[in-house]
Structure 1
């Protein structure tokens, strides 16, 4: 029988990277959330997408400003991921970051970062599909990514 628990368990067999979507609230305070549903969408124009839940308290703050930064989390950033996965509170107290092209937080130590403006938002069940137009980006080719598989964190083996 198809239940939300079975659906989540089976789809948990698909490994994914983890990104931190960061932005600034209207008052300038940094906001962020951990997301495993992220993808590139288009090369021309350069577009990416992420899927926040409709119950997210962080996405509305990001949407009001209209910009965000995708931070591809690195192996060893599990604590950072956990800090951004919880609701409420000041998630940035112990995080090291610098402002990106739109002023949104670029997290120190991330594998890559992608500065975006919100292009469009689509309704998708209990989530939203947020498409962002990429305006600037950068990467650390030596860093390895943090992965999520079967509800646990993993790292790529050195190759």
Structure 2
């Protein structure tokens, strides 16, 4: 085992990526309404931040083609995917395609797209954005939500997995 420490010792990006693949994460699709079309991304960075006031967060890559729309969005929808939605996760993780063409959705509050069959969803007002390296951390305040019962889709070690 190699140990790296000290203030000047920063992990290389590829090493950090390999290390963080050991963390299991829920799979979320974040959507918003663009000027001419809906926009969405798959994110494994979604997390609860605070209950008082209610806040959640997710990260958006500043280099992604969707970033300008998310950077200007006042509202977003967060969808926690169920065990049977790996295809949706892969679709929203693929660049250069119309992610909504083969995905069932409907317009929600503030015009944000709501994906059908999500295990849970939240419509949120963007509270603030924090630049953090090559990403932006979006802090958002949930305004409305819904959920169904089921097993979540999880991302671990570069693969989508389902809990038993």
- Find the aligned partners of 1:156 and 1:8 in 2 and give their Cα distance: 23
Unaligned runs of 5+ in 1: none
Secondary structure at 2:121 match in 1 = strand
- Find the aligned partners of 1:90 and 1:40 in 2 and give their Cα distance: 29
Task: Please say which structure displays the higher CA radius of gyration.
Answer: 2
TM-score (norm 2): 0.90
Q: Which moved more, 1:81-90 or 1:9-18?
A: 81-90
Secondary structure at 2:99 match in 1 = coil
2:26 equivalent in structure 1:
17
Is the aligned partner of 1:70 residue 2:78? yes
Secondary structure at 2:17 match in 1 = helix
Secondary structure at 2:123 match in 1 = strand
- Give the counterpart of 2:103 among 85, 95, 99: 95
Could you tell me whether the CA contact under 8 Å between 1:47 and 1:132 is conserved in 2?
yes
- Find the aligned partners of 2:40 and 2:144 in 1 and give their Cα distance: 19
Secondary structure at 1:51 match in 2 = strand
Secondary structure at 2:98 match in 1 = coil
2:161 equivalent in structure 1:
154
TM-score (norm 1): 0.92
Alignment: residue pair count = 155
After TM superposition, the runs of 4+ consecutive aligned structure 1 residues lying more than 4 A away are: none
Taking only aligned residues, the RMSD between alpha carbons, in angstroms, comes to 1.2
Could you tell me whether the CA contact under 8 Å between 2:73 and 2:126 is conserved in 1?
no
